[in-house]
Amino acid sequence: MSEVVLEQPPKAIPLETPEELNLLTPRQLAWRRFKRHRLALISGVILVIMYLVAGFAEFFAPYVTTSRNVSAINAPPMDVRFFEHDGTFHIRPFVYGYDLHINEHTWAREYTENPEKIYPLRFFARGETYELWNLFEGDIHLFIAENEEGEGYIHFLGTDQLGRDVFSRVIYGGRISLSIGMLGIGLTLFLGVLFGGFAGYLGGWVDRIVQRMIEVLQSLPTLPLWMALTAALPAHWSSLRIYFGVTIILSLFGWTALARQVRGRFLALRNEDFVIAARLIGSGQNRIIFKHMMPSFLSHTITTATLAVPGVILGETALSFLGIGIRPPIVSWGVLMEQAQNYQVISMTPWILYPGLFVVIAVMAFNVLGDGLRDAADPYNMGGQ
């Protein structure tokens, strides 16, 4: 939906003379301003890590999404330890295996740690085979847990009702949820620049129609409409087509704010001296648009689009949670939380809400990063102050 404006008190920077400042390119100036937004910088780093891990999910996740550990159904998260219960120290971190009990009153499965079963963590070890991006076969994982006999498992965010590792599924789910965000802003940007550009450059009735369209779209409650559209996606479609369908649906309503901004910039620029000058020396219309007008605001527009990512991620999560978004076997963070429909399930296995934590972190990071980028790329904020 919208933005949180996050400022920080201006931080002291090493003094530079105005002469030195004048030598910097706009990009360098923007980078200097961005660096001063410490939180935005941290958010950027968090997001890079998240995208890297999601991109190489096969390597970072100890298990593949469909792999089931039948001896651990709805098992709680494990602690990674250096010390045994009796105090023995291991240089190699390890986890205790589970012991299963059936509660005599409730017939619920209960897992406890078994200090006899010590599964040390092994890094860059061979585990389940996978196909990275459906292209390369491999079996090296960042870490797995295995003892000398080749037994062991690690579920440090627990398992779900089929015994699948929540941590691994969160990593794979990130690939979908985060990429939807990225694809979504690509589309949003395209639609926003297209409609905003036409409206602002051509003006007249085109402008009026686009304006009206934006008003209509902005006054619609999005979720019910998203629900209607995703529910309309044919049931026989493959998960992959559904994935693209959902992405398109989520972007259909997100471009309005961006289009308004682009329109405004075009309108303002039409009468700027440098544009008139370009027209007077006989530049063609395309040249004026692409060489003179667009570069002066495009970076700001792109960074503003970052602020549309959270809406897309949250939308996907909500729809998948309702069972009408991404469909299994593809997993996304929303799909992972689909089981958590009522508090009985949550109070039995609260760890199935962990994917939600990652949603919150990703969305927060995008919001903060977007703010920082927008301020840094604002062409009207060039002074460096």
User: Which whole-number Å values give the CA distances from 8 to 37, 39, 226, 380, in the listed order?
Assistant: 7, 9, 36, 19
R_g of the chain, CA atoms, integer Å: 26
Q: How far apart are CB 22 and another protein at their closest, in Å? A: 16
**Would you say 58 or 207 has its CB closer to another protein?**
207
225 near another protein (CB under 8 A): yes
Name every residue whose Cβ is closer than 8 Å to that of residue 109 and which is 6 or more positions away in sequence: 73, 74, 100, 101, 102, 103
What is the C-alpha to C-alpha distance for residues 325 and 318, in angstroms, rounded to an integer?
Answer: 8
Q: How far is the CB of 14 from another protein (least distance, A)?
A: 10
Q: Is the peptide bond before 9 cis (omega within 30 degrees of 0)?
A: no
* Cβ 308 to another protein shortest distance, Å: 14
Beta bridge partners of 143: 123
Q: Does 363 bind another protein (CB under 8 A)?
A: yes
The DSSP line for 334-350 is HHHTTT--SHHHHHH-G
Does position 359 bind another protein by CB under 8 A? yes
How far, in Å, CA of 37 to CA of 373, rounded? 9
Q: Smallest distance from the beta carbon of 21 to another protein, in angstroms? A: 11
Q: Name residues contacting another protein, limited to 238-277 (CB under 8 A).
A: none
In the set 190, 364, 378, 381, which binds another protein (CB under 8 A)?
A: 364
User: For residues 208 and 216, is the Cβ–Cβ distance under 8 A?
Assistant: no
Q: What is the x/- site pattern for another protein, positions 5-24, by CB under 8 A? A: xx--xxxxx-x---------
Cα 98 to its chain centre, rounded Å, is 33
* Strands, sheet with 109-132, edge to edge from the N-terminal-most edge strand: 81-83, 89-102, 109-132, 136-145
Is residue 309 at the binding interface for another protein, with CB under 8 A as the rule?
Answer: no
| Distance, CA of 115 to CA of 150 (rounded, Å) | 17
From candidates 100, 202, 228, 248, binder to another protein by CB under 8 A: 228
The only residue of 80, 232, 276, 382 in contact with another protein, by rule CB under 8 A? 232
Evaluate the CA torsion angle 230, 257, 264, 213 in order and state its sign.
Answer: positive
Which residue, 65 or 317, has its beta carbon nearer to another protein?
Answer: 317
| Interaction between residue 220 and another protein (CB under 8 A) | yes
Q: Which one of residues 183, 210, 312, 368 is an interface residue with another protein (CB under 8 A)?
A: 368
For residue 85 the two structure tokens come to 């219960």
Q: Which is nearer to another protein, 62 or 310 (CB)?
A: 310
Question: x/- site string to another protein, residues 315 to 334, per CB under 8 A?
Answer: --xx--xx-x----------
Does 100 contact another protein by CB under 8 A? no
> Which tokens hold the place of 61?
């996740």
* Cβ at position 173, least distance to another protein in Å: 14
Between residues 168 and 349, which has the closer beta carbon with respect to another protein?
A: 349
Could you say whether residue 1 binds another protein (CB under 8 A)? yes
Q: Are 169 and 296 in contact (CB under 8 A)?
A: no
Q: How many residues bind another protein (CB under 8 A)?
A: 54
Ranges within 200-219 binding another protein (CB under 8 A): 212-213, 215-216, 218-219
Stretches 59-67, 107-115, 156-164, 223-231: which one binds another protein (CB under 8 A)?
Answer: 223-231
Using CB under 8 A, which of 54, 64, 121, 229 touches another protein? 229
CA neighbor of 38 nearest in space, from 379, 372, 367: 372
Who contacts 319 (Cβ-Cβ below 8 Å, separation ≥6)?
A: 226, 227, 230, 246, 325, 326, 334
Exactly one of 142, 353, 378, 381 binds another protein (CB under 8 A); that residue is: 353
Contact set with another protein (CB under 8 A): 1-6, 9-13, 15, 212-213, 215-216, 218-225, 227-229, 231-232, 234, 310, 314, 317-318, 321-322, 324, 337, 340-343, 346-347, 350, 353, 356, 359-361, 363-364, 367-368
